Amino acid sequence: MRSPCEIVLALDVPSRVEAEAFLDRIGPNLKWVKIGLQLFVREGPALLDVVARRGHRIFLDLKLHDIPHTVASAIRSLRDRPCELLTVHAAGGPEMLRQAVMAAAETSPNLRLLAVTVLTSLDAQALVATGVPATPASQVERLAALALDTGIPGLVCSPEELPALRARFGPTPLLVTPGIRPPGSDPGDQKRSLTPAAAAAAGADLLVVGRPLLQAADPRAALAALHATLHGACNS
């Protein structure tokens, strides 16, 4: 049986000062923090230590996509950093993914890679513009199969693809889902989104939530409401 899904805060703020201030506001009941390109480029790897010392687990969302040697070297550069999840692009191809898996195993026994399939900001029209004639759903499954075959243990996908991925690949892959929007919230630039309860019911393990928490008047209360929603979904 899979564990209940959990909330991941997408800490998309400009600086360490703002990051720490927000973590103070949201309180101690937040387990996972996702650090993306904006904050990582500004503050560097030392920020991972800062966030981890506050008691949070680290999801580093760099979406690495380069030649195999460069991606593997970047992963090895994270040695001794408290990073548990790291994203790479499945579209980087099988050799890049295989070398990423080997580098992660050498770097840390706690580091798990997540393959990004199709960004949740992309729809069918956007895929066609990049030269991919497939639908988002079929492209997600194609890239997911490629990543899992190379030893990547988890996937990043939109909520809409969750049922198909669970049906095809079973309970083992860790499925991480951005594009989560509570009922009534602005979808922003997310083209393929679901509510937390719907995503949990569809098979997500981790739900990435950014603006609905970052822009909340009371982030602590907003997080508590999300937790209550997930608890209700798991017990319904």
pTM for this entry: 0.91
User: How many of the other CB atoms lie within 10 Å of CB of 126?
Assistant: 14
CATH, residue 123: 3.20.20.70
pLDDT at 18: 97
pLDDT at 190: 46
Looking at the domain assignment, is residue 218 inside a domain?
A: yes
> What would the mean pLDDT of 216-225 be, rounded to a whole number?
95
- 185 or 62, higher pLDDT: 62
Q: State the pLDDT confidence band at 200, using cuts at 50, 70 and 90.
A: confident
Q: Total domain count for the chain? A: 1
Looking at the domain assignment, is residue 1 inside a domain?
A: no
DSSP state letter for 45: T
Q: State the pLDDT confidence band at 197, using cuts at 50, 70 and 90.
A: confident
Dihedral sign from CA coordinates of 101, 97, 40, 119: negative
Looking at the domain assignment, is residue 208 inside a domain?
A: yes
Looking at the domain assignment, is residue 210 inside a domain?
A: yes
Q: Looking at the annotation, which residues are catalytic?
A: 63
Q: State how far Cα 88 lies from the chain centre.
A: 10
- 192 or 103, higher pLDDT: 103
Residues 182 and 219 sit within 8 Å (Cβ to Cβ)? no
> What would the mean pLDDT of 146-157 be, rounded to a whole number?
97
> What would the mean pLDDT of 23-43 be, rounded to a whole number?
96
